[in-house]
Structures are given as C-alpha cells and as structure tokens.
C-alpha cells in the first residue's frame, strides 16, 4: 500500500510541486493584499482625521476672528463717532428751533433728540444770527456728516472684518504646518531649539497682530475723507425736504460706493508703509518684546508681505464689496420700513434720522452689522483659500 502511494507521488511529483507552489503563491499574495488593504484603511483613517482636524481648526479660527473683531470694534467705531459728531449738529438745530418757538410763543417750547423732530422747520433759512451758522448751513453739514458717518462705519468695519480674517487664517495655517513639522521632528528625535523657536514665533505673531493699530488710528481717517468727498458729490443738490423712496436712495448709495471704491488703496488703509512699521509696533509692544523682535524680524516680514498680497488681490476687493453691500442692504431695509409708514416716500431728513439710529447700532456689543458681514459667503471662501494655501 505504502509502495503504491510512493509510486503515485513519484509519478505526480511535478504536479504536487506545482500545486504546492501555486498554493504558497496564493497564500503569500493574499497576505500581501491583506496587508496593503490594512495600510490603505489606516491611511484613509489618518487622512480623514487630518481633514477633520483641519476643518475644526478652520472653524475655530473663524470664531476667534469674530471675537477679535468684536473686541476691536469699540475703539474703531468710537474714533469714527468722535471724528463725525452728528449729535452736536443736531443739538445746534434743536437749539435754533427752541429759540424760534421761544420768540414766537413768549418762552413756550420743547426739544427732542430725534432728527425727524426738526424736519418741519425752514431748512432753507439762510439767515445767520450772532455769527453762527445758518439753518441752511447746519442742515447741509448734518446731511454730509450723518451720511459720511454711517458709510464710514460700514467701510471701516468691513475692512476690519476682512483684515482680521486674513491675519488669523494666515497664522492658523502657519501654526498647523509648524505643529506637523514638530510632530515629525519628535518622531525622528529632533527636539533641539523648539522652545526658542516657539518664543521667537510668538513675538513675531504678536507684532504682526499689532498692525491692526494702523486701521484703528490712521486708516479710518483716510476712509472718512474718501467717503466725505463721495457723499458731497452725490448728495450735494439734495435738500432735507426732498422726498425719495428706498429705490432712489439705493441708487444714490451705489453711486457713492462707486466713487469711494475707485482707486481705493486697500493695502494703505490696513497696513502702514514700511518706514512706519516700527512706529506701529512700538505703540503696542513692550521694550523686552521689541528687543526680541529686532533680533529676528524675518518671520514678521514674511507674514506682512503675504498679507499685503492678499489685501491687494482682486479677491479681497470682491469680498469688500460684498461686505459693504450686505451692510447697505440692512440700511436700505431700515429706510424702507420708515417709508412704509408714509406711503413709500420720505424726506431726506427722515432718512438722516434713520442713518443716525443705524450708526449707533455699530456701537452695540455684538453689532448685527458685523455679524451679518461675518456670514458673507465670499468671506468664508477667501478665508478657506488662505487657510488651505499650503504651497
């Protein structure tokens, strides 16, 4: 029996060897495929984790940007209010109204803080009393200053939103890359100098963020002057008694916007010229931090130059227009509501009263105007583009 089996094996030895080889090959092939499949699954898991981490960091960065914007708004908007004092002009007009009533009714009169309360006065009275401005001059000044203040607030806050988003997304992307490099370095046992590099980077980032000082203290003034010239040109011939509807006011705002944005130097409004960069940094950083920065300002230069490119890009101009359009839309809605109570058309004086009320909303914590700008889709797209620019 055993002899027969042995003879059978000898006769079919090649077949057995071939079959054994095939089985071994299949076994190792299946093992290889299984290993590669596991590696592929692990790689997919890691990629999904990395994408999720990037997404979470991106979302948190936008939240941090909004918080930063809200914290800077009081200083920026406060400067605009101080430089464009509508209330002072309103009080002068109310005083004239009170004096007129006192003269006509032997001392009986009243006053109110609402601009619309003085719309029935003769806004065209050009008589100058005691060397003071005439009512006509006061109304003209009120018209220009009131509209200039609201539009300046819109552009200043829009630029603050845009600039802060750019800054924080540039830093967030940089932080993500540095974390990845540090993780890779630790895997290879490279730890030397990490703490020193971290401190230097922190100082450069603080200096970089301090550049918002320029918009808050210098840039807004340039915006105000640009806006004022545009308002004077568009609204010059419109008197306070002129009646207009929301569509006509919208067209006037569009004309004003076109004049403002013609040759608007965005980079000059949010970033200081090179010869004033150290001056700006000195306004916000202490001497010790400045000393550390002066030893290695290279990273700061890279950050500022990159941001300047983003600010000067056509994408930023498009985003700014969208932010401004969003705020103007809210203002037009408010004017439309005022017009709905008077048959659709309102006097310009009523529009001025509405713009004055809207301007004060910019001073409220968590301004609805800023919140609406922050939700503009084009802004998120630009932020994502900056954040994901790993090239």
- Residue 51 domain flag: no
Each residue's pLDDT tens digit, 335-349: 988 877 766 788 999
Each residue's pLDDT tens digit, 351-365: 999 999 999 999 999
Per-residue confidence (pLDDT) for residue 83, from 0 to 100: 96
- Residue 21 domain flag: no
Rounded alpha-carbon distances, angstroms, from residue 235 to 2, 146, 159, 326: 116, 12, 24, 22
- Residue 142 domain flag: no
- Residue 341 domain flag: yes
Q: Cα separation of 115 and 214, whole Å?
A: 33
3-state secondary structure 369-391: HHHHHHCCHHHHHHHHHHHCCCC
- Residue 9 domain flag: no
**For 147, which DSSP code?**
H
- C-alpha R_g of the chain: 34
Strand blocks (E) in the chain: 243-244, 346-347
Per-residue confidence (pLDDT) for residue 53, from 0 to 100: 81
- Residue 5 domain flag: no
Q: Between residues 22 and 149, which one has the greater pLDDT?
A: 149
Range of the structural domain that residue 250 is part of: 148-387
* Nearest of 170, 133, 94, 68 to residue 387 by alpha carbon: 170
CA 325 to chain centre: 14
User: What's the domain count of the chain?
Assistant: 1
Per-residue confidence (pLDDT) for residue 109, from 0 to 100: 42
- Residue 163 domain flag: yes
- Residue 120 domain flag: no
Rounded alpha-carbon distances, angstroms, from residue 158 to 161, 228, 305: 5, 17, 21
* Nearest of 369, 384, 387, 367 to residue 323 by alpha carbon: 369
Each residue's pLDDT tens digit, 58-80: 999 999 999 999 999 999 999 99
Each residue's pLDDT tens digit, 134-175: 888 899 999 999 999 999 999 999 999 999 999 999 999 988
């Amino acid at each position: 029996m055993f002899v027969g089996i042995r003879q059978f094996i000898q006769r079919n030895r090649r077949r057995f060897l071939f079959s054994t080889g095939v089985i071994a090959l299949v076994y190792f092939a299946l093992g290889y495929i299984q290993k590669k499949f596991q590696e592929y699954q692990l790689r997919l898991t890691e990629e999904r984790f990395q994408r999720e981490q990037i997404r979470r960091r991106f979302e948190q960065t936008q939240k941090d940007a909004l918080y930063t914007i809200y914290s800077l708004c009081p200083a920026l908007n406060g400067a605009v209010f101080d430089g464009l004092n509508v209330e002072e002009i309103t009080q002068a007009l109310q005083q004239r109204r009170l004096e007129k009533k006192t003269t006509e009714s032997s001392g009986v009169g009243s006053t109110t803080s609402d601009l619309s309360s003085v719309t029935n006065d003769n806004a065209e009275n050009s008589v100058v009393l005691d060397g003071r401005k005439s009512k006509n001059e006061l109304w003209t000044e009120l018209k220009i200053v009131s509209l200039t203040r609201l539009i300046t607030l819109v552009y200043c806050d829009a630029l603050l939103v845009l600039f802060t988003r750019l800054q924080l997304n540039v830093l967030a992307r940089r932080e993500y890359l540095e974390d990845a490099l540090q993780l890779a370095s630790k895997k290879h046992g490279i730890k030397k100098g990490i703490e020193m590099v971290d401190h230097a980077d922190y100082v450069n980032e603080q200096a970089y963020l301090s550049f918002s000082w320029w918009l808050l203290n210098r840039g807004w003034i340039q915006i105000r002057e640009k806006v004022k010239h545009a308002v004077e040109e568009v609204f010059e011939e419109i008197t306070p008694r002129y009646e207009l509807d929301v569509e006509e006011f919208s067209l006037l705002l569009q004309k004003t916007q076109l004049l403002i944005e013609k040759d608007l130097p965005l980079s000059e409004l949010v970033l200081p010229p090179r010869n004033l960069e150290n001056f700006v940094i000195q306004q916000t950083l202490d001497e010790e931090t400045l000393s550390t920065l002066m030893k290695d300002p290279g990273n700061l230069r890279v950050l500022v130059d990159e941001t300047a490119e983003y600010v000067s890009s056509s994408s930023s101009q498009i985003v700014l227009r969208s932010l401004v359009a969003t705020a103007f839309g809210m203002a037009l809605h408010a004017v439309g509501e005022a017009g709905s109570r008077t048959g659709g058309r309102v006097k310009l004086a009523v529009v001025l009263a509405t713009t004055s009320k809207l301007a004060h909303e910019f001073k409220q914590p968590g301004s609805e105007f800023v919140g609406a700008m922050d939700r503009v889709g084009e802004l998120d797209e630009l932020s994502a583009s900056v954040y994901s620019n790993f090239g």
